[in-house]
């Protein structure tokens, strides 16, 4: 188990990182664009994820925002906005959060695949930690198979294993304040539960379950390199 956790932690160091990084294809990573921020995922009236400084809906920088707590946290670039699955932040306390990533649709992976991570928080978004949830040769497409959720005591990673049979595989990861996956063992006899089920009736306060971006909003200026 420890070796598996260590490997996952290494994969989580880069959000949407790759086992063997491919050659980058896309707009300049350090460019500046004249576009307004878009709210691509809203949890409630004061917590939301924005896409900013973007070339299009797949190439930009994402931020987690909590206007009540005064939190604005950079999540990454060209990653979070490409998750195509379902996301449910259902912790009523607001402490546990999870935000998954993927890769732009044109990105290719090596023969070892790409290690794709999510970010989770146990302190209401003040800090985030990474965890690998998928290794894929086509992360953009394969992320559609996932439902990822946060509750008051755990995060759930659920994958549609077979479209033919409809089989779904779900794992439950306990969330504990201050605990970081990959650095230590779970305390007090807690464990990761495999082949479990998502709790019924999970929903975020707004009911939004997928990232949403308006593709018609594009920059009018040529890329300005920082």
**Residue 203, domain member (yes or no):** yes
| pLDDT at position 4 | 40
Within a domain: 127: yes
Residue-level pLDDT at 27: 78
Q: How far apart are CA 63 and CA 126, in angstroms?
A: 12
Residue 66 lies in a domain: no
Evaluate whether residue 115 is within a structural domain: yes
Domain-embedded: residue 180: yes
pLDDT recorded at residue 56: 95
Answer whether residue 134 is part of any domain: yes
Q: What is the pTM of this model?
A: 0.86
Element at 69 (helix H, strand E): none
Q: What is the pLDDT of residue 6?
A: 40
Q: Which residues of the chain have pLDDT under 70?
A: 1-25, 224-226
Q: What is the count of structural domains for the chain? A: 1
Residue 132: helix, strand or coil by DSSP?
strand
pLDDT for the residue 226: 60
Containing structural domain, residue 191: 2-19+82-213
Q: What is the pLDDT of residue 25?
A: 63
H or E element, residue 171? strand 168-174
pLDDT attached to residue 30: 80
- Coil, helix or strand for 225? strand
| 69 domain-assigned | no
- Cα–Cα distance for residue pair 64/51, rounded to 1 Å: 9
Q: What is the pLDDT of residues 41-54, one digit of tens each?
A: 999 999 999 999 99
pLDDT at residue number 130: 96
Q: Is residue 37 part of a domain?
A: no
């Amino acid at each position: 188990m420890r070796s598996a956790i260590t490997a996952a932690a290494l994969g989580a160091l880069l959000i949407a990182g790759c086992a063997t990084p491919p050659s980058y294809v896309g707009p300049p990573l350090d460019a500046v664009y004249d576009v307004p921020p878009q709210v691509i995922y809203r949890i409630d009236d004061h917590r939301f994820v924005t896409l900013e400084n973007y070339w299009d809906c797949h190439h930009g920088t994402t931020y987690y925002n909590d206007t009540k707590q005064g939190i604005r946290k950079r999540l990454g670039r060209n990653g979070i906005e490409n998750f195509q699955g379902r996301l449910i932040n259902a912790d009523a306390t607001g402490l546990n959060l999870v935000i998954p990533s993927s890769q732009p649709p044109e990105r290719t992976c090596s023969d070892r695949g790409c290690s794709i991570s999510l970010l989770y928080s146990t302190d209401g978004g003040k800090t985030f930690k990474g965890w690998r949830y998928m290794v894929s040769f086509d992360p953009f497409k394969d992320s559609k198979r996932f439902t990822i959720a946060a509750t008051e005591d755990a995060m759930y990673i659920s994958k549609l294993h077979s479209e033919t049979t409809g089989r779904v595989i779900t794992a439950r990861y306990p969330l504990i304040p201050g605990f970081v996956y990959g650095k230590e063992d779970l305390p007090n006899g807690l464990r990761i539960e495999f082949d479990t089920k998502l709790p019924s009736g999970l929903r975020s306060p707004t009911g939004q379950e997928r990232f949403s971006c308006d593709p018609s909003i594009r920059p009018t200026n040529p890329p300005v390199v920082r």
